[in-house]
């Protein structure tokens, strides 16, 4: 009987413990419901923004619209290349018997630079010239006889043909002798010589490099969408690392096709380089001005809100947000031209864009102005 009484007492205690544990677990979840039903208010922590419609102003940054200069530029990289460049070689093979240039010196077009042995050819030329003299005298006598009808026309024609054949042989030999001479094909500066006197040179042997560095060419690439804007005669500027000034050049040619790998088109410009201060092969940072707009309206890109019907922005007027439909123009990396919708002096809202609504109170925390915007395209 005592055992039965102990079991009767233990059962109510177990139930009470279970109820207490369940209460501890569920109380945090039902507490908000109890507070809401009792009519209590939820208090926003100090410093936090109130919910929309509470009357508390929304903090946002403002951008005062002033007349702006917008420049659309293409920034590219390029290289300086010579106007003309060639590696000179002989047109014939033979022993080098003379080198007549000084390394790094300036030479004129047609100037003799080097020569290979031509003595056998000169000897053949003397022989042919002697034969021609005899053939010429024979032709003279035969012509006189033909005028008197002393010989047949056929006999005269044979002598005349021999003279013409000798003339052709002499011309061929003179051409072969000229192939033993290496002459400058244009005005320029010779580089370092690659052979010495006494060496045997073939038509594949490089003797010296000749370059023309006045003027210079600047080769650079532009995005394909600007292919129709950068045309011959277009001015560009470029800078060289280590030189504290910019240089001006003029485009003279644009490639006829777009590179399918880079989606760019190659252009070349001339720089006079009259003082020859720039050397071929150097790296150049190129800039081309596509368009320049004075006294226009430009706004930060982040202030633009795209919609199905177009784009809009928010301005602040009388302490409240006002929605304005806008028409966009030139785009830069950070700004957009506004062609219609805004006026100088308007204060554009640039932050809290997602929270802005027509007519809600707004308080400015910062105010920015900007007068010069440049578009940089790589």
Contacts from 370-374 at CB under 8 Å and sequence distance 24+? Answer: 370/63, 370/66, 370/68, 370/298, 370/335, 371/66, 371/67, 371/68, 371/69, 372/68, 372/69, 373/68, 373/69, 373/70, 373/71, 373/298, 373/332, 373/334, 373/335, 374/70, 374/71, 374/73, 374/332
What CATH architecture is 75-83+211-292? Beta Barrel (2.40)
**Minimal CA–CA distance to 200: which of 121, 119, 112, 97?**
97
CB 112 within 8 A of CB 100: yes
- Name the residue among 210, 200, 211, 213 with its Cα closest to residue 113: 210
**pLDDT for the residue numbered 47:** 35
Beta strands in 89-225 (DSSP E): 94-99, 106-107, 112-116, 181-183, 188-190, 200-201, 208-223
CATH code for the part of the protein at 58-67+297-377: 2.40.420.20
Quick one: angle between helices 153-178 and 119-147, nearest 10? 160
User: Which are the contacts of 341, defined by CB distance < 8 A and separation ≥ 6?
Assistant: 313, 324, 325, 326, 327
pLDDT tens digits along 216-271: 999 999 888 887 888 898 899 999 988 888 999 999 999 999 989 989 999 999 99
Domain 87-201 falls in which CATH fold? Answer: OB fold (Dihydrolipoamide Acetyltransferase, E2P) (2.40.50)
- The residues pairing with 325 across neighbouring beta strands, listed in sequence order, are 312
- Within a 13 Å sphere around the CA of 357, how many CA atoms are in the beta-carbon half? 6
Distance separating alpha carbons of residues 142 and 152, to the nearest angstrom = 9
Q: How confident is the model at residue 370 (pLDDT cuts 50, 70, 90)?
A: low
Structure token pair of residue 134: 């005899």
pLDDT at 131 over 90: yes
For residue 4, name the pLDDT band (cuts at 50, 70, 90).
very low
Per-residue pLDDT tens for 55-70? 688 888 888 888 887 7
Residue 226: what pLDDT?
82
pTM: 0.60
What residue ranges do the domains of the chain occupy?
1-41, 58-67+297-377, 75-83+211-292, 87-201
What is the spatial distance between Cα 240 and Cα 69, in angstroms, rounded to a whole number? 27
Average pLDDT, the chain: 83
Shared fold status for 58-67+297-377 and 75-83+211-292: no
Query: Rounded mean pLDDT of 320-333?
Result: 84
In this prediction, residues 115-143 reach a mean pLDDT of 92
3-state secondary structure of 376: strand
């Amino acid at each position: 009987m005592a055992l039965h009484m102990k079991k009767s007492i233990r059962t109510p205690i177990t139930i009470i413990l279970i109820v207490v544990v369940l209460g501890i677990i569920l109380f945090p979840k039902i507490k908000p419901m109890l507070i809401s039903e009792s009519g209590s208010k939820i208090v926003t922590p100090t410093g936090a923004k109130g919910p929309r419609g509470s009357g508390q102003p929304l903090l946002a940054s403002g951008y005062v619209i002033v007349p702006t200069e917008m420049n659309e530029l293409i920034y590219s990289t390029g290289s300086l290349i010579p106007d003309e460049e060639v590696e000179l070689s002989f047109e014939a093979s033979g022993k080098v018997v003379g080198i007549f240039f000084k390394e790094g010196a300036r030479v004129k077009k047609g100037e003799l630079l080097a020569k290979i042995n031509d003595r056998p050819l000169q000897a053949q030329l003397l022989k042919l010239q002697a034969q021609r003299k005899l053939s010429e005298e024979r032709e003279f006598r035969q012509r006189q006889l033909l005028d008197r009808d002393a010989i047949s026309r056929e006999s005269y024609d044979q002598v005349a043909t021999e003279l013409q054949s000798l003339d052709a042989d002499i011309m061929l030999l003179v051409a072969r002798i000229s192939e033993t001479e290496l002459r400058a094909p244009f005005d320029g500066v010779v580089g370092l010589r690659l052979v010495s006197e006494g060496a045997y040179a073939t038509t594949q042997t490089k003797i010296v490099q000749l370059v023309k560095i006045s003027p210079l060419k600047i080769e650079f690439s532009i995005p394909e969408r600007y292919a129709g804007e950068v045309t011959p005669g277009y001015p560009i500027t470029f800078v060289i690392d280590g030189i504290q000034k910019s240089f001006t050049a003029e485009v003279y040619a644009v490639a006829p096709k777009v590179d399918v790998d880079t989606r760019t088109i190659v252009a070349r410009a001339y720089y006079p380089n009259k003082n020859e201060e720039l050397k071929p092969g150097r790296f150049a940072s190129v800039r081309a001005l596509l368009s320049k707009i004075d006294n226009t309206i430009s706004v930060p890109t982040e202030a633009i809100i795209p919609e199905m019907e177009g784009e809009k922005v928010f301005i602040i007027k009388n302490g409240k947000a006002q929605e304005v439909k806008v028409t966009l123009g030139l785009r830069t990396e950070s700004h957009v031209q506004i062609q219609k919708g805004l006026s100088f002096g308007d204060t554009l809202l640039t932050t809290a864009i997602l929270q802005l609504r027509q007519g809600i109170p707004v308080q400015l925390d910062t105010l920015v102005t900007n007068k010069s915007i440049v578009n940089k395209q790589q």
